[in-house]
Amino acid sequence: LATRQTLLSIEQQVLLRAVQAYMNLQRNYELVRLRQNNLRLIDEELRAARERFDVGEVTRTDVAQAEARRSASESALAAARGDLAQAIEEYAASTGHRPKRLTSAGPLPKISRSVESAKSVALRHHPDMIKTQHDIAAAELLVQAAEAATRPTVTLNGSLGVNDEFNSSSYSHAGSVGVQLSGPIYQGGRLSSQVRRAVAQRDAQRGLQHVIRHSVQANVGNAYAILRAAQSQVESGQSQIRAARVAFRGVQEEAKLGSRTTLDVLNAEQELLNAQSTLISAQSDVYIAAYAVLASMGQLTARDLNLAVQIYDPAAYYNLAKDAPTNRSKQGKQLDRVLQKLGKQ
């Protein structure tokens, strides 16, 4: 039973890794697209700066600033493409196949609004908590077995027989009853030490349960904190983009009238780019954090998510393994045939 909970814990880790890989892949795709658009805009600014330089409206410094910003944009695009390549490899390692066509992540999973309610659910359903309960139960059985080995055992034996003589109508009955008492007399402290060891192991499991309990609760609280921080970043990022877009357009118009320099335009564009990049990352972080909350509660499993996959059934696997034929040697098969002929099997 404890091993089954370990399997569920691994299932949660696999699914959370897949979510992280998918959202990071989507994030890097968007960042590459954003960097490409930024490079095109800087090319336009560079071309405009050169044209204005030719007619004497700006200096060579303005052109050099635009050229430097273009080189920086090319470098950032190359770095974004490198991050995308790494994200593709991580996605392939997490899911077993390379990405084909990315779709929208869809709505966020439904999670409790209350942190305390989520902690209560985690204490009841998290695989690590259930596993430690089974470990304690198993350790308690070992204590009982060790204590039973120190106590005497009583065995009651009885027999009844009938003696019927051949060609005679007489017969006799015979019966016997016996009681046998056995137990350890002197073991040199071995049995008592086994009891103490079993008790210590049980107490250690109980102590571990307290540690895991606090760890599970802390993980839920941390997951909610990360989720709320990411959601706040999305809200502030959207406001920042709106303001940065208005500022960028205004600076562009003012630059055409000669009241703004090329550097002002490039800086305004960079602020808009930073705001857009922050929003893209925050949106991905929200999805990752939401599924991390489910994992911290013990509800990130294929069954809980209603995934269209075959659900592992431990009982069915046990029955299959129990009834499966074993591999027998050649000598064993020969012995089976002999026993079958003798009517022993």
Return d(Cα 221, Cα 215) in angstroms, integer.
10
Fold entry, domain 2-103+113-136+188-315: Outer membrane efflux proteins (OEP) (1.20.1600)
Looking at residue 326, its pLDDT comes to: 62
**Residue among 38, 99, 48, 94 nearest 70 (CA):** 38
Nearest to 147 by CA among 198, 216, 76: 198
What is the rounded average pLDDT of the residues 284-310? Answer: 84
The whole-number average pLDDT for the span 258-268 is 85
Residue 27 has pLDDT above 60, yes or no: yes
β 153-164/171-182 pair status? antiparallel
Find the mean pLDDT for residues 35-55: 87
- Residue whose entry in the numeric block shows the structure tokens 């808009």: 272
Supply the Cα-derived Rg of the chain in whole angstroms. Answer: 37
Phi, psi torsion values for 299, nearest 5 degrees: -120, 15
Mention every residue, 6+ apart, whose C-beta is less than 8 A from residue 157. Answer: 176, 177, 178, 179, 180
Q: What's the confidence (pLDDT) of residue 35?
A: 92
pLDDT digits (tens, 9 = 90+) for 165-199: 656 566 666 777 777 777 676 666 777 788 888 88
Q: Report how far residue 38's alpha carbon sits from residue 36's, in angstroms, rounded to the nearest whole number.
A: 5
Q: Are 262 and 255 in contact (CB under 8 A)?
A: yes
Tell me what the pLDDT averaged over the chain comes to. 83
User: How much of the chain, in percent, has pLDDT values that exceed 90?
Assistant: 27
Whole-number pLDDT of residue 303: 80
Q: Kindly report, residue by residue over 29-43, the tens digit of the pLDDT.
A: 999 999 999 899 889
pLDDT number for residue 331: 65
> How much is the pLDDT for 30?
92
- For the chain, give the longest Cα–Cα distance: 142
| pLDDT(107) > 60 | yes
What's the pLDDT tens digit per position in 55-103? 887 889 988 988 999 999 999 999 999 999 999 999 898 888 888 887 8
Mean pLDDT of the region 281-309: 86
The mean pLDDT of 333-345, rounded to a whole number, is 66
